[in-house]
Structure 1
Amino acid sequence: MTTQRFTLSSPDIQEGHFMAKVHEFDGWGCSGGNVSPELNWQHAPAGTKSFAVTVFDPDAPTGSGFWHWLVADIPADATGLARGAGKGSLPTGSRSFGNDYGSKDFGGACPPEGHGMHRYQFTVWALPEEALPVPDGASAAAVGFNLNAMALGKATLTATYAR
């Protein structure tokens, strides 16, 4: 029996390609649409009981990267998130956690001007529990730790952006 690989795709962003301005943050000197891209996943590992989605910029000049979006407890029957879901239209039961902009919504790309190309890692995590075992106010680091500790699998799509 051949097992198909867990994959993440999007009609809005492409692996290794520059994102459209609609996905740029609106604030902090940026003036984009702050719209989360449509995300679709397939072939989740056996035993998946929920999903999480994160967006992380490892190139941010912070010493610890920059979290743009953290959503967990997405029901196991979900196969993606609609374009714009980051503004609060997530599947029932999903929980959002604080990003580094200080909100629980999607926060688009906004690298410092002239800082060069940044990578934005959109990752879907397949989880063996219906709920991530962290409190609602958990930090991004605590969420990331738990995702890495318990994931059955993950799929990442990395887009880029610069100003």
Structure 2
Amino acid sequence: MGSEEFRLVLPTIEHEGRLPRKYTADGQGALKNISPPLEWYNLPDGTKSLALVVQDIDAPDPSGPLVPFTVWVVAHIPPTLKGLPEGFSRKEEEVGGDYGKVKEGHNDWKLPGWRGPKMPSRGHRFEFRLYALDEEMHLGHKVTKEKLLEAIQGHVLGEAVLVAIF
């Protein structure tokens, strides 16, 4: 596969794969809870839509084991787009064009869009998983990770995964 591999890139990632603070609730002033910029390359042939799920895969459940915590769910991403700009979340209509077709789902805070975590400790891994789909998903008004993952079964042409640390 080599350089033709379907891949996802976070261009602002810092040394050692660290997610900058401005993308979390630990940022300062207006520079916090900003959705990070993403770029993708080499979509699989036949891709008609993309979907994204971002999770803190090291989130502890207060009663026990690690349970992934959903930070961002994005559906209906047209394959004509090559990425999402920094600060895109909750502004898709302002950005316009094909970006206006994108639908942000609800995260585990039960809110739409990107919500950067308030971290009790450093070292958590954030998994960005981009799905290339063979058709557009019809998910209704309120999109959740669970609804998205159920709908895309049997329609995934490829997955691109990126892990960043905070």
TM-score using structure 2 length: 0.81
Match of 1:144 among 144, 149, 163: 149
Work out whether residues 23 and 36 of structure 2, in 8 Å CA contact, stay in contact via their aligned partners in 1. yes
Match of 1:69 among 45, 68, 72: 72
Question: What is the CA-CA distance between 1:15 and the residue it aligns to?
Answer: 9.0
Residues 87 and 15 of structure 1, relative CA distance in 2, 3 Å threshold: farther
Q: Deviations over 1:95-148 (max 9, x none)?
A: 11110122111111323x24x521101122111112x23222243222123345
Structure 2: tracts of 5 or more residues without a match:
none
Instruction: Give the Cα separation in 1 of the matches to 2:15 and 2:106.
Output: 25
| Counterpart code for 1:59 | D
| Counterpart code for 2:72 | W
Alignment of 1:51 with 2:50, yes or no, is: yes
Name 1:82's counterpart in structure 2: 85
Name 2:24's counterpart in structure 1: 24
Output aligned runs, 1:89-104, within 5 Å: 89=92, 91-104=99-112
Instruction: Give the Cα separation in 1 of the matches to 2:34 and 2:82.
Output: 19
- Percent of aligned pairs with the same amino acid: 29
| Larger helix proportion of the pair | 2
Instruction: Give the Cα separation in 1 of the matches to 2:39 and 2:103.
Output: 18
Instruction: Give the Cα separation in 1 of the matches to 2:58 and 2:153.
Output: 20
Instruction: Give the Cα separation in 1 of the matches to 2:105 and 2:125.
Output: 21
| Secondary structure at 2:4 match in 1 | coil
Name 2:5's counterpart in structure 1: 5
Instruction: Give the Cα separation in 2 of the matches to 1:48 and 1:105.
Output: 24
- Count of residues in Structure 1 that have an aligned counterpart in Structure 2: 154
Structure 1: tracts of 5 or more residues without a match:
none
Work out whether residues 24 and 110 of structure 1, in 8 Å CA contact, stay in contact via their aligned partners in 2. yes
Instruction: Give the Cα separation in 2 of the matches to 1:67 and 1:51.
Output: 18
Work out whether residues 126 and 152 of structure 1, in 8 Å CA contact, stay in contact via their aligned partners in 2. yes
Residues 3 and 11 of structure 1, relative CA distance in 2, 3 Å threshold: closer
Q: Could you tell which deviates more after superposition, 68-77 or 9-18?
A: 9-18
| Larger strand proportion of the pair | 1
Q: Could you tell which deviates more after superposition, 35-44 or 102-111?
A: 102-111
TM-score using structure 1 length: 0.83
| Secondary structure at 2:151 match in 1 | helix
